[in-house]
Amino acid sequence: MNAIDLIIFIIYALIMLFIGFFFYRKNKGVDDYFVGGRQMSSWHVGLSVVATDVGGGFSIGLGGLGFTMGISGSWMLFTGLIGAWVSAVLLIPKVSKLTKQINLLTFPQIFNHYYGARTALVAALISFIGYLGFTSSQILAGAKLASATFPEIDFTTLLVSMGVFTVVYTAIGGLKAVIFTDTIQWIILMAGLLFIGLPVAYYAVGGYDAIKASIPPEFLNFNNISWSQVVNWSIIIIPIWFIGMTLYQRIFACRNEKDAKKAWFIAGLFEWPIMALLGVSLGLIARAAFEQQLLPGLDGADPELGLPVLLATVLPVGLLGLLMAAYFSAIMSTADSCLMAASGNFVTDLLGKFVKLSDDAILKISQWSTLVLGFLAVFIAVQMTSVLELMLLSYSFMVSGLFIPVLGILFLKKHYSAAALSAMLAGGGSTVILHLANVTLPYELDINVIGLTISLLTYATIHSIYNKKTNLIASK
């Protein structure tokens, strides 16, 4: 990277740190730190939601899908649009109403209200572990991007550097800093991809005719996808809109139900078709450049590196720094949110169950716990190799454990702790066991199919038993 590009990149990083320190001085209590003072606008929250949900993992991951399967990879984020809009209609009204009653800070507190303290504690553990892993995947994405731009620097050094930067500004600024930086980061990313990355890369590979001649013909079709892949993406991504701690924090941060719904509809449209098609199109162009032997530094073994290497190869001085800042923005916008979610689970739902502290003490502990958990996420990232694999595994773990009990809250009148707790342990546990045992399902279906099925059957069975007992007692 040229010195000018490096300077641009450093200036961007310093601005993000400044925002973190600015809100460090503004945070007056736990509400400010974890839910942004509950006065955030719909556009701020909507852009923050899509920046968090798509972020760097999906940005780099979408490039990898475009590299390996073409435009059809965009269907992954269509499931994001469905999840956003369905949850806006079904989930937000119930959550917003409950928030007015008990001033919610975290997702597991909803479980505490409907299922009791023991179930809420297990939900907090599942959410905490999942978001810690997801934070790691985003830090890994940042390191992959940086390694393509700074090939002379050791990968581990880059990973640790990216992680420390993210952890510091997140820990000091809280959710307000996260949402405001997300808004800035998303604007930078969209402008960078749309007005710099896409046209320059398209021109560099010779335009449409050259792309068409360089890649398999099915890469330009929207049906280059199997039904099992659609099922896998649907059962992993749609439910996250109902169980994601990062998303609940943003519902709590909105001024009212109307603003929250508007934010979710905004987020859905930005996910698909805008970000989805941009990401896979750039990945497809990277594949064309690879086939044309324009990317000598890429061996094709890791398709997620195709897009970063392409951009580092074709962008002129100055523009590379801007676009690297844009991609790094996307990565950090997800990493910071996931780190805030993990910290919120730890301080409010885990530590808060056993230690009673003042608001001032909780604020300080929250900042320090975010710092420590961030460094733990960096350590986990060092052990992993695939961004999308780690991200989707984190999703799967939370989905299998938490989705069915949330549906029970939304659609059933009676809520039994035993049903929810059993479903969480059976669903999440089976997913982990099957993954560790390297079990493969027919038609390449994701193990989440089994985890969700087990969770559903467990919940339905125990709910039915308790329902009969309750009705029997009532009849006497």
> Are 162 and 430 within 8 A, CB to CB?
no
Q: Say what the pLDDT of residue 138 is.
A: 77
Q: Say what the pLDDT of residue 330 is.
A: 67
| Residue 394, pLDDT above cutoff 70 | no
pTM of the predicted structure, to 2 decimals: 0.88
Q: What is the DSSP letter of 254?
A: B
What's the rounded Cα separation, in Å, for the pair 257 and 197?
Answer: 37
Q: Note whether residue 205 is domain-resident.
A: yes
Nearest to 347 by CA among 249, 424, 425: 249
The DSSP annotation for 39-64 comes to -B-HHHHHHHHHHHHHHHHHHHHHHH
Instruction: Label residue 453 by pLDDT band (50, 70, 90).
Output: very high
Nearest to 118 by CA among 418, 431, 461: 418
Q: Say what the pLDDT of residue 153 is.
A: 73
Q: Note whether residue 442 is domain-resident.
A: no
pLDDT in tens, 229-249: 999 999 988 998 999 888 998
Greatest alpha-carbon pair distance for the chain in Å reads: 81
| Residue 151, pLDDT above cutoff 80 | no
Q: Give the number of other CB atoms < 10 A from CB of residue 113.
A: 15
Give the mean model confidence (pLDDT) for residues 167-194: 78
Mean pLDDT score of the chain: 85
Q: Note whether residue 113 is domain-resident.
A: yes
| Residue 149, pLDDT above cutoff 70 | no
Give the mean model confidence (pLDDT) for residues 170-175: 76
Query: What residues form DSSP beta bridges with 254?
Result: 40
Choose from 21-35, 145-159, 257-271, 393-407 the range with maximum mean pLDDT: 257-271
Q: Say what the pLDDT of residue 94 is.
A: 95
Instruction: Label residue 390 by pLDDT band (50, 70, 90).
Output: low
Residue found by looking up tokens 């013909």 in the block: 217
Q: Note whether residue 256 is domain-resident.
A: yes
Instruction: Label residue 472 by pLDDT band (50, 70, 90).
Output: confident
What's the rounded Cα separation, in Å, for the pair 330 and 450?
Answer: 32
pLDDT in tens, 32-88: 778 877 888 899 899 888 877 776 556 677 888 999 999 999 999 999 999 999 999
What's the rounded Cα separation, in Å, for the pair 158 and 344?
Answer: 27
As given in the structure block, the two tokens for residue 215 are 């890649």
CA distances 216 to 267, 288, 295, 303, Å, are 32, 9, 18, 15
Element (H, E) at 86: helix 75-90
Q: Say what the pLDDT of residue 298 is.
A: 77
Share of the chain above pLDDT 90, in %: 39
Torsion sign (Cα): 277, 279, 281, 287: negative
Parent domain of 98: 3-386
Q: Say what the pLDDT of residue 148 is.
A: 66
> Are 247 and 64 within 8 A, CB to CB?
no
**Residue 318: CB partners within 8 Å, gap ≥ 6?**
2, 4, 5, 8
Share of the chain above pLDDT 70, in %: 91
| Residue 155, pLDDT above cutoff 90 | no
Instruction: Label residue 366 by pLDDT band (50, 70, 90).
Output: confident
Helix/strand number for the chain, H first, E second: 21, 0
Q: Note whether residue 309 is domain-resident.
A: yes
Torsion sign (Cα): 284, 287, 292, 297: positive
Cα 113 from chain centre: 26
Q: Give the number of other CB atoms < 10 A from CB of residue 255.
A: 14
As given in the structure block, the two tokens for residue 55 are 């972020």
H-assigned helices in 270-358: 276-291, 306-314, 319-344
Task: Give the domain CATH number at 217.
Answer: 1.20.1730.10
Number of domains in the chain: 1
Q: Note whether residue 145 is domain-resident.
A: yes
| Residue 392, pLDDT above cutoff 70 | no
Q: Note whether residue 400 is domain-resident.
A: no
Q: Say what the pLDDT of residue 420 is.
A: 96
Helix (H, G, I), strand (E, B) or coil at 11: helix
Q: Say what the pLDDT of residue 55 is.
A: 65
pLDDT in tens, 272-319: 998 899 989 999 999 999 999 998 777 766 787 788 788 878 888 777
Instruction: Label residue 391 by pLDDT band (50, 70, 90).
Output: low
Element (H, E) at 396: helix 387-411
What's the rounded Cα separation, in Å, for the pair 101 and 96?
Answer: 9
Amino acid identity for residue 380 in this structure: I
Amino acid identity for residue 73 in this structure: G
Amino acid identity for residue 359 in this structure: D
